[in-house]
Amino acid sequence: MGQGATTFDVVVIGGGTTGCVLATRLSERADRSVLLMEAGADVPDVASLPAALAERPANAVWDPQYLWSYPETTLNPAVRGRILGGSGAINGCAFVRGIPEDYDSWGLPEWRFEAVLPAFRRMERDADFADAWHGTDGPVPVRRFARDDWHPLQTALYEGARECGYDEKADINAPFGEGVGPLPRNDPQGLRMSAALTHLAPVRGRPNLTVWSDTVVSRILVDGDRAVGAEVLRDRAPVTVRGGETILCAGAIESPRLLVGSGIGPAPVLEDLGIGVVHDLPGVAENLRDHPVVKVGARCDDDAAHPELGEPQQVVVTYTATGSELRADMQILAAPEWRGNARDGAPASDFVLITTLELPRSRGRLRFERRHGELTPRFEFGFLDDERDRARYRDAARRSVALLESDAFASLTGTCISPAPAEHASDDALDDWVARTLRVGQHSCGTCRMGPDDDPGAVVDAAGRVRGMDGLRVADLSIVPDNVRGNTNATAFMVAEHIAELIEEGR
């Protein structure tokens, strides 16, 4: 189909990680026309990267022109990437898989670890490991910083962790063990490799593949019980796009928002919003999952040491919290924290140990309200509702303080300032500190979760097909029933690779 065509075999909504991968894989069949639509700017190749992304590739980019930003009153704002490549184009480049139990616990044979491992291997080009767990010729480059190239802060984290009794783990993505080791990253030579670059860029010349950037989807079009396309705004003009199949890849916030705005969701929610019920689907926007984050902050006594801390996160600690029945349920990273970032009257740190609760017990939900005629999401995370989560965070804070007190951190002349001694003197004081400093990890998922046929809360089946509708799938992190014990971008790549495989198998 040409650029002016408005009818396609497959319409993919959302040009983030999963959208770029799916458009690439589905357009491999020359007789299938594919349209990929992205609300943000186009990135056709490396040379087209905006300066904000090309000049600061190591850690997450917070330039508002490349973000969907969702104000959150109780925590930090949730943000997602609004550019071709999505959040994978603006994130911190960690490429951590999670562990086999994560995928096995989803309860679907098609998504057990042994079933998805081929997709992980197929997409990877790992520079450091070539074995049964890793791929070496895929489109996504994965590397780890050599120890000689670690910044002083990263060296301190590694040596401090070993001093405190954590095992060494050279390959965090290997499916066994835990400990401290180099962080897998998808940024060779410091260049963040989003799916727009790894998958989509090499195939942009396919005559059956069309990419529309700066295109905002208003709603999904439904005829009876079948999705038939979407209404969009392109160049501020309304356009109707028809599709033999419509695939939502807009992420764990925008995918449920688009479904609800199109009348697909829980009937009581739709009725409260004044939206006509097209399809009553109770699970939409439920089961909100994320990784809550707490930063333990330190101040360098010697100001001259701060510029030497470096910026990229190069080392990661994974461990099982004391008393937890969930293996490898916590993660610690280290990063500089420029003093200008302090807020809410908190003391300004020079660096932080970022402690992440990888598998919280709490389950939240999204709710929507109308603002200026638009549906705006309201986040109800439910973080820390469960005492087991609070106990894991007390344990994490105390472990982080112990790391800062190790001999390894003495070279940075660091002093822990948050939590202050009085704030970790008792469980109650530490609970209060955690509640005040808790932040969203920007790893939202689960809001259109998949499940077996007898699961009343499942929105989609194992192949991403929306329950009770034809011609409509969801294929992004919103379909995973629970989060993974690791950063989520690698799993997003895998989800799209695996859904593409399932689509072809069921063709």
Rounded to the nearest 10°, the torsion over CA 428, 432, 434, 438 is 150
Residue among 199, 279, 424, 443 flagged as catalytic: 443
SS3 of 347, please? Answer: coil
SS3 of 226, please? Answer: strand
What the block records as the tokens of 71 is: 């104000």
DSSP code at position 175:
S
Q: For this structure, is 443 an active site residue? A: yes
Distance, CA of 393 to CA of 432 (rounded, Å):
11
Angle in degrees, CA 164, 169, 174, rounded to 5: 145
Side-chain-side CA neighbours of residue 491 (13 Å): 28
SS3 of 26, please? Answer: helix
Tokens 């309200």 belong to 369
What the block records as the tokens of 197 is: 């670059």
Pair 449, 480: CB distance under 8 Å? yes
What the block records as the tokens of 9 is: 């075999």
Distances (CA, A) of 493 to 196, 315, 357, 410: 11, 22, 22, 40
DSSP code at position 323:
T
| Cβ within 8 Å of residue 184, ≥6 positions away | 94, 95, 96, 126, 142, 143, 144, 172, 173, 490
Pair 53, 89: CB distance under 8 Å? yes
Residues in the chain: 507
Q: Which residues are catalytic?
A: 443
